[in-house]
């Protein structure tokens, strides 16, 4: 029998994607679920949905609550205090291109390290030098990786990934999609998505 799998769509500027990225590995491993890490860009999708920016930026009360909520969850999960970047929202194009370019074995490590650099250490990962340092810290030949991430081919691959996300019905991040097409939106649904994947869809609510 094929191992159940879960598509994990994440955007580097999303604090809730961070909370899922640092948790999904052990949770999925324990449940025997394979995770396919899918970096993408939320900007083009938000634009199509008619958002002028993130709802967390457009509605300040919602944004204030989001940061407070993320910090409470970090305490709840035993993570370091969350740093609220003063450069938020930020351009995550380079980080997403690098994550996409890396192979399946390296992508999770870079993803978690880049998220931690941003939300646990307050480093601006829209800055090429910061991305270089994250890569170097993981033992990558950083200039080589960044050059390869910025080829026309890899840029096109990221555009294709955004289209793939849009076609799959993704409208926010993080989003989890199981083999049977069940879509779960938000860090709050990580556990439910993994349970659904592990059960091969058997835990699915019947269609309402």
The residues carrying an active-site annotation are 14
d(CA 163, CA 157): 10
Could you tell me which stretch among 25-33, 80-88, 138-146, 147-155 binds its own copies (CB under 8 A)?
80-88
Distance from the first to the final alpha carbon of the chain: 29
Contact between 95 and its own copies per CB under 8 A: no
3-state secondary structure 116-179: HHHHCCCCCCCCHHHHHHHHHHCCCCHHHHHHHHCCHHHHHHHHHHHHHHHHCCCCCCCEEEEC
Query: Of residues 157, 164, 189, 199, which one binds its own copies by CB under 8 A?
Result: 189
Contact between 201 and its own copies per CB under 8 A: no
Closest CA to 115 of 26, 31, 29, 18: 18
- Nearer to its own copies by Cβ, of 120 and 148: the residue is 120
Query: Of residues 30, 36, 47, 75, which one binds its own copies by CB under 8 A?
Result: 75
Residues that bind its own copies (CB under 8 A): 49-50, 55, 58-59, 61-62, 65, 67-72, 74-76, 81-82, 84, 169, 171-172, 183-185, 188-189, 192, 204-208
């Amino acid at each position: 029998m094929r191992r159940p799998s879960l598509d994990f769509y994440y955007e580097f500027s999303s604090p809730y994607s961070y909370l899922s990225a640092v948790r999904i590995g052990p949770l999925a491993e324990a449940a025997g679920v394979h995770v396919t890490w899918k970096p993408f860009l939320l900007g083009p999708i938000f634009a199509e949905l008619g958002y002028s920016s993130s709802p967390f930026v457009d509605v300040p009360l919602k944004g204030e609550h989001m940061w407070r909520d993320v910090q409470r969850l970090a305490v709840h999960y035993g993570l370091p205090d969350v740093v609220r970047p003063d450069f938020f929202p930020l351009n995550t194009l380079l980080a997403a291109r690098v994550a996409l370019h890396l192979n399946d074995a390296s992508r999770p490590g870079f993803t978690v390290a880049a998220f931690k650099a941003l939300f646990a250490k307050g480093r601006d990962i829209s800055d090429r030098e910061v991305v270089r340092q994250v890569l170097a810290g993981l033992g990558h030949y950083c200039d080589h990786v960044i050059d390869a991430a910025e080829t026309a081919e890899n840029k096109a691959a990221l555009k294709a990934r955004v289209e793939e996300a849009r076609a799959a019905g993704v409208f926010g991040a993080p989003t989890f999609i199981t083999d049977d097409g069940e879509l779960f939106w938000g860090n709050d649904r990580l556990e439910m998505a993994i349970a659904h994947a592990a059960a091969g869809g058997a835990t699915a609510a019947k269609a309402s």
